[in-house]
Copies of this chain bind each other. A is one copy, B any other.
Amino acid sequence: MKNIPVAILGATGYTGAELIRLIEGHPHFDIAHLAAHSQAGKKAGEVLPGLSGAIAELMLATADAAIPDAVQLVFTALPHAAAAKSVKTAIDAGKRVIDLSADFRHQDATAYKAAYGIKHPHPELFSSAVYGLVEHARARIAKADLVANPGCYPTSTLLPLIPLLNANILDDAPIIVDSKSGTSGAGRSAKADLLYCEINESVKAYGMPRHRHAWEMEEWALGFGGRKVRVRFVPHILPMTRGMLTTLHLTGDKPESWHQLLYNTYRGERFVRLLTEGRLPSTAGVSGSNRCDIGLAVLGEREAVVVSCLDNLLKGAAGQAVQNANIMFALDEGLGLSEHALWP
């Protein structure tokens, strides 16, 4: 089989870097084009210290440079709004696209505007975009030309939540989502509040009163879980590079039966692992892997806490994107992805 040429736009952010690493280790995709607007003209290896060999020598193109004709799949790892424009260009050029920004995670421009505060530049593409939460959307992903790769917080929230919503056993109360994220999720731009000395030895909540991902969670809790819920979401930033842990504080019927519900949904999944009841996951257990680990502890008669962990750059971004790519091209879904963490 001849390899499939791909392009990565936004190649020098943390998500872009992770995409490069994954594609480099993938047996059936090849990188044919890397764009990184602010670094254009440099070699990839000058900006990304982890790269070696030929890929490190590849010249970075500008964001608007033409993508080679041979490229079949484009990954866009760009800020929102900028992403939509590149997606439009790529789709018009006949490429398939996996967009890692938030631009196509919503199904209409109103929700997008509520979350992002701007008018969407290309709402005409909404109808063709598939929300790529892999374990719940495989059939649609396989046929999609445009996959919206889910956000990290929504992935860590929706995976444990959807089976419980589908079982219709949760109380009709807001879903409390308390998330803790490593700092790489905040991106690579030179902001004073992301300096080492500001983040190290510190934790804080941010994004109040409503983080953008709350809308995404609600939209797809309805989309996949079939229930209109209110999500009360409080994210925190932690002194670590990778990793995301989401704590769901839930109430409902028979929490002692929820472990089985989760088990039934995910037992065949390679990249969602349910821990034995009472055991709770750590982010170290998934770092470097494409896994989402889920644990559940029953706290009382109608109360449980469900905890999920994933690597925000992998199952929360580049890893799920490659999983989507594998499905789009009818490849083994796990190609190029690790089930095991880089531990310690």
Contact = CB atoms under 8 A, between A and B. Distances in A.
A132 interface: no
A190 B192 CA distance: 4
A170 interface: no
Interface in A152-201: 174, 176, 178, 180, 182-184, 188-192, 194-201
A50 B305 contact: no
Given A50-B284, A52-B289, A196-B241, A236 B180 contact: yes
A49 B241 contact: no
Interface in A283-311: 283-289, 291, 295, 297-300, 303, 305, 307, 309
Nearest to A282: B204
Contact of A299 (B178, B204, B208, B344): B208
A186 to B, nearest CB: 8
A226 interface: no
B239 A204 contact: no
A236 B25 CA distance: 32
B243 A203 contact: yes
B188 A197 contact: yes
A197 B53 CA distance: 23
A287 to B, nearest CB: 6
Contacts of A4: none
Contact of A240 (B14, B49, B239, B298): B239
Contact of A281 (B48, B204, B289): B204
A32 interface: no
Contacts of A298: 209
Q: How many copies does the complex hold?
A: 4
Interface stretch (A106-114, A122-130, A334-342): A334-342
A232 interface: yes
Contacts of A282: 49, 202-204
Contacts of A189: 192
Given A17-B344, A198-B344, A340-B24, A174 B303 contact: yes
Most central of A202, A298, A300 by chain B CB within 10 Å: A202
Given A176-B176, A341-B49, A343-B17, A236 B242 contact: no
A234 B50 CA distance: 23
A70 interface: no
A190 B52 CA distance: 28
A190 B188 contact: no
A210 B299 contact: yes
A196 to B, nearest CB: 4
Given A14-B197, A288-B288, 6 more contacts: A188-B195, A196-B196, A201-B283, A202-B285, A232-B305, A241-B344
29 contacts: A17-B344, A21-B340, A24-B339, A50-B286, A50-B289, A50-B341, A50-B342, A52-B339, A178-B247, A184-B344, A190-B191, A190-B195, A194-B195, A194-B197, A197-B241, A197-B344, A202-B240, A202-B243, A202-B282, A202-B283, A202-B284, A202-B285, A202-B287, A204-B282, A204-B284, A205-B297, A205-B305, A209-B297, A232-B300
Closest 6 A-B residue pairs measured CB to CB? A50-B343, A50-B341, A202-B284, A49-B285, A204-B282, A208-B297
